[in-house]
């Protein structure tokens, strides 16, 4: 691709990014308009100051030196007008900053909320292939980079552009030749800024990528800190994190070098322009083709024009970091594995679950469910058993619509799950998983999960029915704040809390995925009593391997390699002496060995 084509593509990309960002700014368009309205007025006030100096030098000051009466402007009137221009410039600058920063911060809040909402709306398949640290980086460091532009970049860039245009217009108005001599190095400046901009864009993108990788590794290491310590991997983990940080440091160091070099070169170019102006302008003054006031005004204009030019070049790094961040954020927003929501919300839910010739795979070579057909009547308890990888957990995830099953293959009360309003389906199906996630907050917060309609009395009853009341009382009651991810609870108590969530929400259908897999025998008894309360009057589909849980089922479904191999009661399946009987005998043998 040619350089011109690459430039065109970059411009198109930048314009496309700005166009996509505009909806986040649009609600505050009035504040943006107010800030932009102040910009040209502020620039005019700044441009007027060198012009007033010219008037003072060529008018009343020259008249005073030549001992002749002043014509028109007096020193007092010039001074008062100059002071008014300075005050106007700073007041308008304050208005501009306040209005544009207000709009910018509000747009930033909308963008962060939009990214977070987008991530929360994705299905489980989205999170299977994306590190949480990378997603965290998009909503924190990338959004902060855009914030730098909104607060220090665009706010100043708009003013800088107007300053440059107005100053150049004033210089051309006063003297075209002096302006041409002053801008001899302008082509060099354009080439320099463009060169540095491309390099800064590259390293800004690299900074974001390396920061995302470092954040992901850091979060993963913290989440698995106990495993790292138990296996003595502290030094290895630290070395890995150090390598991520060096990658980030190298990119930032080179980016800062380009940024600082551009700033220094711009200072040198400004000095060169003033030297050229003095050499050429002084000769014109001596020859009578110019005035001392005009030369002083041009020197002032040159100094003033290079301030926004220098600042503009200094903001290139910030702008490029923001452009790179916008690319990553909108790249994330373009990545979607959503679960489309239907519009049906049944008024009454009996709890009948029907699976009709279900075929599902996580990929073309990973078939998890093959031609599965199953009907669970309202109030029935069905246990799913089978060896690891037989498709049990996949089946319950599809029923709860954590993944999207093929259309018309799973029905709840005769309505295909994809036709249900998603939130209504989630309210109708309660899920208890083996790995329980607890959030920052109190016991009561973790039981209710902030769901509307769950009263304090309902929470207390749920805790009582879940056999968790003694533990809650020992820790100080429902308003006790849990430690991070429930660190002050055992695995069994965490499981009981997840059961309390189901009892408080009171869904007509419950799905339990290995809910009793990681608990001791004593806690299992409490869990079994809690499950008896859960099963009352509800349709239940249970993935289990403990015989005590399986025996409570009205029907047992045995799965093998994604298919239903056997189905029936415990006694009937044992009498068949098939796969289920073999699984039970293996489990009993394991218990004897452990006993």
Gyration radius from the chain CA atoms: 36
Residue 301 covered by a domain: yes
Q: Which residue matches tokens 């089946």? A: 395
Q: State the DSSP string of 96-161.
A: HHHHHHHHHHHHHHHHHHHHHHHHHTB-HHHHHTS-HHHHHHIIIIIHHHHHHIIIIIHHHHHHHH
Q: Using alpha carbons only, give the angle 109, 110, 112 rounded to the nearest 5 degrees.
A: 65
215: which strand partners?
Answer: none
Instruction: Give the pLDDT of residue 409.
Output: 92
Q: Lowest-pLDDT range, 20-24, 63-67, 173-177, 403-407?
A: 63-67
Residue 3 covered by a domain: no
CB pairs under 8 A, 24+ apart, for 44-49?
44/166, 45/85, 45/86, 45/88, 45/89, 45/92, 46/85, 46/89, 46/163, 46/166, 46/167, 46/304, 47/163, 47/166, 47/167, 47/169, 47/170, 48/81, 48/85, 49/82, 49/85, 49/86, 49/89, 49/300
Instruction: Give the pLDDT of residue 412.
Output: 92
Number of Cβ within a 10 Å radius of residue 536? 11
Residue 8 has pLDDT above 60, yes or no: no
Q: Are the C-beta atoms of 299 and 171 separated by less than 8 Å?
A: no
pLDDT: is 426 or 125 the higher one? 426
Residues 542, 547, 550, 555: is their CA dihedral positive or negative?
Answer: positive
Q: Which helix (H) or strand (E) holds 182?
A: helix 176-182
Instruction: Give the pLDDT of residue 256.
Output: 82
Residue 289 covered by a domain: yes
Q: What is the largest CA-CA distance in the chain?
A: 127
Instruction: Give the pLDDT of residue 83.
Output: 93
pLDDT band at 518 (very low <50, low <70, confident <90, very high): low
Residue 6 covered by a domain: no
Instruction: Give the pLDDT of residue 7.
Output: 44
Which of 43, 28, 50, 48 minimizes the C-alpha distance to 101? 28
Instruction: Give the pLDDT of residue 508.
Output: 92
Instruction: Give the pLDDT of residue 146.
Output: 77
> Taking residues 157-163, what's their average pLDDT?
79
Which residue among 334, 363, 384 closes a domain? 334
Q: Are residues 362 and 422 in the same domain?
A: yes
Q: Which residue matches tokens 């009341």? A: 469
Q: Are residues 255 and 369 in the same domain?
A: no
Q: Are residues 364 and 301 in the same domain?
A: no
Q: Are residues 517 and 419 in the same domain?
A: yes
Task: Convert the pLDDT of each residue in 271-307 to its tens digit.
Answer: 777 777 777 777 777 676 767 778 788 888 877 877 7
Q: Which helix (H) or strand (E) holds 34?
A: helix 29-56
Instruction: Give the pLDDT of residue 10.
Output: 46
Instruction: Give the pLDDT of residue 519.
Output: 59
Cα separation of 419 and 405, whole Å? 12
Instruction: Give the pLDDT of residue 517.
Output: 56
Q: Are residues 213 and 312 in the same domain?
A: yes
Cα separation of 106 and 112, whole Å? 10
Instruction: Give the pLDDT of residue 354.
Output: 93
Residue 425 covered by a domain: yes
Residue 4 has pLDDT above 50, yes or no: no
Q: What is the CATH number of the domain that holds 553?
A: 3.40.50.300
> Taking residues 239-253, what's their average pLDDT?
85
Q: Are residues 36 and 170 in the same domain?
A: yes
Which residue among 275, 300, 334 closes a domain? 334
Residue 166 has pLDDT above 80, yes or no: yes
Count the domains in the chain: 2
Q: Are residues 266 and 403 in the same domain?
A: no
513: which strand partners?
Answer: 433, 543
Q: Which residue matches tokens 């706010």? A: 155
Residue 581 has pLDDT above 70, yes or no: yes
Q: Lowest-pLDDT range, 64-68, 72-76, 156-160, 363-367?
A: 64-68
Q: What is the CATH number of the domain that holds 227?
A: 1.20.1560.10
Q: Lowest-pLDDT range, 39-53, 190-204, 575-589?
A: 190-204
Number of Cβ within a 10 Å radius of residue 171? 22
Q: Are residues 320 and 363 in the same domain?
A: no
Q: Are residues 365 and 278 in the same domain?
A: no
Pair of tokens at residue 394: 């996949």
> Taking residues 347-352, what's their average pLDDT?
87
Residue 488 covered by a domain: yes
Residue 347 covered by a domain: no
> Taking residues 212-230, what's their average pLDDT?
75
383: which strand partners?
Answer: 542, 556
Q: Are residues 474 and 521 in the same domain?
A: yes
Q: Are residues 204 and 293 in the same domain?
A: yes
Average pLDDT, the chain: 80
Task: Convert the pLDDT of each residue in 456-509 to its tens digit.
Answer: 999 899 889 888 888 888 888 888 888 766 677 777 788 888 888 888 888 999
Cα separation of 96 and 84, whole Å? 18
Which residue among 302, 334, 366 closes a domain? 334
Task: Convert the pLDDT of each residue in 69-110 to its tens digit.
Answer: 666 677 888 889 989 999 998 898 888 888 878 888 888 888
Instruction: Give the pLDDT of residue 87.
Output: 94
Q: Could you give the C-alpha distances from 552 to 144, 353, 533, 540, 549, in angstroms and in order?
A: 54, 19, 12, 11, 6
pLDDT band at 2 (very low <50, low <70, confident <90, very high): very low
Residue 376 covered by a domain: yes
Q: Which helix (H) or strand (E) holds 41?
A: helix 29-56
Q: Could you give the C-alpha distances from 157 to 28, 36, 100, 316, in angstroms and in order?
A: 19, 11, 11, 10
Q: Where are the beta strands (DSSP E) in 301-365?
A: 353-363
Pair of tokens at residue 173: 């108005």
**Residue-number span of the structural domain to which 387 is assigned:** 353-594
Pair of tokens at residue 423: 């939130």
Q: Are the C-beta atoms of 490 and 482 separated by less than 8 Å?
A: no
pLDDT band at 322 (very low <50, low <70, confident <90, very high): confident
> Taking residues 157-161, what's their average pLDDT?
77
Q: Are residues 314 and 413 in the same domain?
A: no
């Amino acid at each position: 691709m040619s350089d011109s084509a690459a430039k065109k593509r970059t411009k198109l990309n930048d314009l496309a990014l700005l166009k996509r960002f505009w909806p986040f700014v649009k609600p505050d368009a009035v504040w943006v308009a107010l800030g932009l309205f102040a910009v040209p007025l502020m620039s005019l006030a700044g441009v007027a100051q060198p012009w007033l100096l010219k008037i003072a030098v060529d008018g009343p000051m020259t008249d005073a030196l030549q001992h002749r009466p002043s014509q028109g402007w007096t020193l007092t009137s010039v001074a008062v007008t100059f002071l008014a221009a300075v005050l106007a410039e700073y007041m308008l600058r304050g208005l501009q900053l306040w209005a544009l920063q207000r709009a910018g911060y509000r747009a930033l809040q909308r963008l962060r909320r939009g990214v977070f909402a987008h991530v929360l709306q994705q299905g489980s398949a989205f999170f299977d292939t994306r590190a949480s640290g990378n997603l965290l980086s998009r909503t924190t460091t990338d959004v902060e980079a855009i914030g730098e532009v909104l607060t220090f970049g665009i706010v100043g860039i708009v003013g800088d552009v107007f300053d440059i245009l107005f100053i150049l217009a004033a210089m051309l108005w006063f003297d075209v030749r002096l302006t041409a001599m002053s801008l001899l190095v302008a082509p060099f400046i354009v080439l320099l800024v463009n060169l540095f901009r491309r390099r800064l864009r590259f390293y800004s993108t690299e900074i974001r990528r390396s920061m995302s990788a470092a954040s992901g590794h850091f979060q993963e290491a913290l989440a698995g800190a106990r495993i790292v310590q138990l296996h003595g991997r502290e030094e290895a983990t630290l070395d890995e994190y150090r390598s991520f940080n060096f990658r980030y440091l190298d990119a930032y160091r080179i980016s800062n070098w380009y940024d600082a070099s551009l700033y220094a070169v711009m200072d040198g170019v400004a000095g060169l322009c003033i030297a050229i102006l003095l050499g050429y302008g002084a000769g014109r003054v001596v020859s009578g083709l110019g005035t001392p006031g005009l030369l002083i005004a041009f020197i002032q204009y040159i100094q003033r024009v290079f301030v926004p030019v220098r600042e503009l070049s200094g903001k290139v790094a910030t702008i490029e970091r923001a452009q790179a961040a916008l690319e990553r954020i909108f790249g994330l927003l373009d990545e979607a594995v959503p679960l489309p929501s239907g519009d049906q919300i049944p008024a009454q839910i009996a709890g009948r679950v029907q699976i009709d010739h279900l075929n599902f795979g996580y990929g073309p070579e990973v078939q998890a469910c093959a031609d599965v057909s199953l009907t669970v009547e309202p109030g029935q308890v069905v246990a799913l058993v089978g060896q690891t990888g037989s498709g049990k957990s996949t089946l319950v995830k599809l029923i709860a619509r954590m993944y999207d099953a093929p259309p018309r293959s799973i029905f709840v009360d005769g309505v295909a799950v994809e036709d249900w309003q998603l939130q209504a389906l989630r309210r109708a199906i309660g899920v208890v998983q083996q790995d329980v996630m607890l959030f920052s907050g109190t016991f009561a917060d973790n039981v209710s999960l902030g769901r509307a309609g769950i009263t304090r009395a309902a929470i207390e009853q749920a805790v009582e029915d879940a056999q968790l009341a003694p533990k809650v009382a020992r820790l100080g009651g429902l308003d006790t704040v849990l430690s991070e991810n429930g660190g002050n609870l055992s695995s069994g108590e965490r499981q009981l809390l997840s059961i309390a969530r189901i009892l408080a929400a009171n869904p007509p259908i419950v799905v339990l995925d290995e809910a009793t897999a990681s608990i001791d025998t004593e806690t299992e008894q409490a869990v079994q009593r809690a499950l008896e309360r859960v099963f009352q009057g509800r349709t239940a589909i249970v993935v289990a391997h403990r015989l005590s849980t399986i025996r409570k089922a009205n029907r047992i479904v045995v799965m093998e390699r994604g298919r239903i191999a056997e189905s029936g009661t415990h006694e009937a399946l044992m009498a068949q002496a098939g796969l289920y009987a073999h699984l039970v005998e293996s489990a009993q043998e394991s218990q004897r060995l452990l006993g």
